[in-house]
Structure 1
Amino acid sequence: MSWHDLDLLEQALTHSSFTYESRQNSSENNQRLEFLGDAVLGLAVSDYLYRNHPHRDEGELTKLRAALVCEPSLARMARELELGYCLNMGKGEERSGGRERPSILADAFEALLGAVYLDQGLDQAAKLAIEFLRPVINDVLEGRLDRDYKTELQEYVQQRGNEQVQYVILKEQGPDHHKIFTAGVVYKGGLVGSGAGRSKKEAEQQAAKSALLELRREK
């Protein structure tokens, strides 16, 4: 995707902690774009559900929209896009785990949509919103929306201090067309959980689930 105004993209990727620490004007961070993107996202999802599910009543549509336009879903998409690594962020916020914080990731995703809306119009922004959310939409509609264990684990360890978790691929097995990955979670210098899956992301989710069980057992 090409941009007409790259300053909008830069603003969408600038967290308020960065402008605060650098003493820049607060209007240059992504908070206003997040406000705009929230409205764009709500309209895009509502329009998609209305047009593609004519037999669902208002209550069903409202529940579906709520499952899609929520912090875990948006943080998941931001993580898929690796927005956390792209953010301009203050050093203090970064040290406290800001690049993995679900609320910051969700806001960045909405800010990005707001920037696309201003740069390329509603149709393109809505199209991208649905395209990005397609995996979540499919999970919700098919009733198989899995828990986001990586987000749960991140929130859990943040409640216990500033230590962060890291994911490592411990091994890969099998041929390329049927490879199995084993991932591990490192916390405070030790391996606290591991899990396997047919993709690195699935393995990391299973490892996070294992780590959550272990850390809660130790509590």
Structure 2
Amino acid sequence: MYITTYFILILALVTMLVQCPGGGGGGGGGGGGGGGGGRGGGRREPCRSRACEVVESIFSIIIAVCFFCALLNCIVGCCCQLRAGRPSRANADFIHQSSSENHNLERDPFETGVWSFRYYQYGKWHGFYRLPLTFDRYLGKVTGQGKDDVGDFTVDGIFSSDNLRLALTQSYVAGTGDPKENLGHTSIIQTTWNSKNNQFEGR
């Protein structure tokens, strides 16, 4: 917004500076009918002075700088959006990290079936959504697929029955759901079992 405002102001200023006076135009013809002088008076020639060349060079540099700043701002914004909420640890490191919370071990939460989930974004909760998950206790892996307000997705991940931690990689299918939000991107979800709320919680 600020870049656009500055650009408009600079454009108006440079436009006024570039409009230097031109050569007046060809006067009337000397003999004959005497009518040849009518078309010349209001014509302007392009400004070719050294001052105009300097102003045009400055104007070109300003346009290039504004374009570069706008492009850089767009790239940084996209990167921040894609990295927002991304965990700092790898999934394998996360699930093997012990938790200080006392877990309720009377019930193993890693059960194959239809789960429900929600997520927090843009200042509000989204969901709940249904998510069928299949747990392989021998390999310690989990797979599934579902759909939310962003689009269709698949999930695969790993879990730890000792630490009661679940880490998922959520991959959205491009061309489904909301075209503004679904970039065909991948999200990392790392959660820990909360025995008080009887649910997995994390980000």
Short-chain TM bin: under 0.3
- How high is the TM-score relative to the length of structure 1? 0.17
Q: Which has the higher contact order (CA 8 A, sep 6+)?
A: 1
- How high is the TM-score relative to the length of structure 2? 0.18
Largest Rg, 1 or 2: 2
